[in-house]
Amino acid sequence: MTKDDVKSNAALAGVGSMATRLLLAGLAEQYTRETGQRLTVAAIGGVDAARRVQAGEAFDFAVLATAAIERLAAAGHLVGARMDVVRSGMAAAVATGAAPPDIGTEGALRETMLRAERIGYSTGPSGDHLLGLLERWGLAAALAPRLVMAQPGVPVASLIADGEVEIGFQQLSELKDVPGVDVIGPLPAGAQLVTVFSAAICAVSQQRRAAADFLAFLGSERAEATKRAFGMEPAGGAEYGQ
């Protein structure tokens, strides 16, 4: 009997990025309610999460941006089929009660950035994308003194709510329904970044069958309403073979 065949009543342990923190908590609660399988999911910065998987920590599954999942799989730290779970777009937000600036077009967004005194952004794909936009617009040097990067694991929403920045940019799921923060809307066409978050089984897992069952749930229609409730859209299914 291989470890793939071992069934256990132990809790499944997963790791995910902060962008999917609330989503995974909601999906884990739903799955436990439906199946009785217990889960714990550590939500940390995506870079740190990938490092911990690479270091062989005792996780059964990982949910990260697809590019990170692909790198970890290629290096042998993940096994089996990658499950594309959600698509997540970027949004902008301001403090509750502040007049929402115009971000309806790429030009309007550029002008809003020029007028902002302090601009919050995150590490990871959304932060890299925002810096890339500034480079493309020729504003990187001019706006560099006004940029405030949230530390890994710290949501941009907290910078907005605390008054540290005038406007902030991150995944919609991390700005949505946060006290003290009003979402202006998604970034406009031409400036938008949609990140796909995927899941895969960790090579060190001793509960691969149970982990595979959870990944199947993540890609199922049963999970779609929960995904949308947390500001994300369903995406995909299995990408590479078993």
Q: How many CB atoms lie within 10 A of CB 178?
A: 18
Least confident of 2-6, 59-63, 130-134, 179-183: 2-6
Is residue 2's pLDDT more than 80?
Answer: no
CATH architecture of 3-87+196-234: 3-Layer(aba) Sandwich (3.40)
Listed in sequence order, the DSSP H helices in the chain are 21-35, 46-54, 66-74, 106-115, 125-137, 140-143, 156-161, 172-175, 208-218, 224-229
Domain segments of the chain: what residues? 3-87+196-234, 89-186
Tell me the pLDDT of the chain averaged across its residues: 91
Least confident of 3-17, 35-49, 103-117, 163-177: 3-17
Is residue 239's pLDDT more than 80?
Answer: no
CATH match for 89-186 among 3.40.190.10, 3.90.1010.10, 3.30.420.10, 3.40.50.720:
3.40.190.10
User: Is-contact 187 109, C-beta < 8 A?
Assistant: yes
Is residue 47's pLDDT more than 90?
Answer: no
Average pLDDT over residues 71-91: 95
What is the per-residue pLDDT for 170? 93
Is residue 152's pLDDT more than 60?
Answer: yes
In this chain, the answer to whether the domains covering 3-87+196-234 and 89-186 adopt an identical fold is yes
Q: What is the pLDDT of residues 162-207, one digit of tens each?
A: 999 999 999 898 898 899 999 999 999 999 999 999 999 999 999 9
